[in-house]
Structure 1
Amino acid sequence: MSLSPKEIEKRVVELTKPIVEHLGLELFDVKYKLQSGKWLLTIIIDKKDDYVSTRDCELVSYEIEKKLDHEDLIPGRYFLEVSSPGLDRPLRSIEDFKRFQGNFAKVKTTKTIRGYIKDVNSETGDIILESDGKEVTVNFKDLKSANLEVDMF
């Protein structure tokens, strides 16, 4: 019986998380989808205190490819892509906001706010952004989405 794309993603997470962590990295996300008529397995890795290098991606790709070939989990042909969350990475937890304090971000609640992450209160979930010279407080539970943005100024 063949697995659904969501089931494949779940199994890939189970198989790859220990490999990624053994290499001193974090598994940020796994996506398996049909793109331009071809199946694409995207594994996104992160590094807590540094940036993800091309070498990191190569090592993870090599190790995961061996494991996936051995497990024969994915039927047919697919392309494996290993990358980092990127400069516009999503902010998915209050810890992400703390980690990237001082950086420029875009947050969406009922409106979109762009500003620097000035302060984060883990206990209350309040995030203070400096936007256009003013402090704006948003609560993490009210966020629809958030991501870092490249500050062009």
Structure 2
Amino acid sequence: MTEEAAKLNDNTLEQNEAPVNDERIIRETGVDARVAGIIEPVLEALGFRLVRVRLSGLNGLTLQIMAERFDGTMTVEDCELVSRTVSPVLDVEDPIDRKYHLEVSSPGIDRPLVRKSDFANWQGHIAKVETSLVHNGRKKFRGRIAAVDVDSVTLEADQASYGDEPSATIPFDLLAEARLILTDDLIREALRKDKALREGRIADDELGLPDEQSGEDGPDEGDADKN
């Protein structure tokens, strides 16, 4: 791990303490961006950070809010707390002009990567990345996160493809989408980290893995219909 990547990791160690210079580098547009701008300071005041906002046509119209504590945990109770808190705020601000279904969830094991620290924290695992502009002749990349610094992430190809370079260094400012690929190694690492948090920082073994952490973004926690 590079020195810069190690620094990024250090910034995410303290529960409920906001990392220094660890803003999201992948952000929403349009209505999603308006919602994010409304709820992000509310989440931070509660001790959470926003991962992603996405408005989709699921179940008519669904507003999905992904969030987590600053150490990466997110319990069922946390999802319910976030839902109860942001729901009245959204009612007042009214950024969506139609009836919608509110879904609050954890990022899941195959999580979106939206901060530089996300790439550093999951270095060694496989990610899928899409850029906003053509980079090295393409916009879609997949590979193991090999190196992370303040400006870019380097992916090493995990699947042989004729004509492709074995590795690609992608500037953070070109990223449009990024997420982890679910693998056995990733599941084991996620469970190991969860166990460490249970034993070292969370009293009474209260940390649980929500259903979303199986890799499916479902409406199991903190759901509500909004007008």
TM-score by length of 1: 0.71
**Equivalent residue for 2:154, pick from 127, 139, 142:** 127
Distance 1:107 1:10 in 2: 21
Quote the offset at 1:55 in angstroms. 1.5
What are the ranges of 5 or more consecutive residues in structure 1 without an aligned counterpart?
Answer: 1-5
Q: In the TM superposition, what are the counterparts of 1:3-152 in structure 2 within 5 Å?
A: 7-36=30-59, 38-107=60-129, 110=138, 112-115=141-144, 117-123=145-151, 125-127=152-154, 129=156, 131=158, 136-141=166-171, 145-152=177-184
Distance 1:70 1:40 in 2: 18
Pick 1 or 2: higher relative contact order, CA cutoff 8 A, min separation 6: 2
Cα deviation 1:63-95 (Å, max 9, x = unaligned): 011212234443442110111222222334543
**How many residue pairs align between the two structures?**
142
Contact persistence 2:51–2:112 (CA under 8 A):
no
Quote the offset at 1:147 in angstroms. 2.0
Larger strand proportion, structure 1 or 2? 1
Change (3 A) 1:33 1:145: closer
Quote the offset at 1:22 in angstroms. 0.9
Change (3 A) 1:129 1:47: farther
What are the ranges of 5 or more consecutive residues in structure 2 without an aligned counterpart?
Answer: 1-28, 160-165, 186-227
One-letter code of the match for 1:22? A
Q: After superposing the two structures, state which structure 1 stretch, 138-147 or 61-70, moved more.
A: 138-147
- What CA RMSD, in Å, does the superposition of the two structures yield over aligned residues? 3.0
Contact persistence 1:94–1:140 (CA under 8 A):
no
Change (3 A) 1:11 1:102: same
Distance 1:145 1:30 in 2: 13
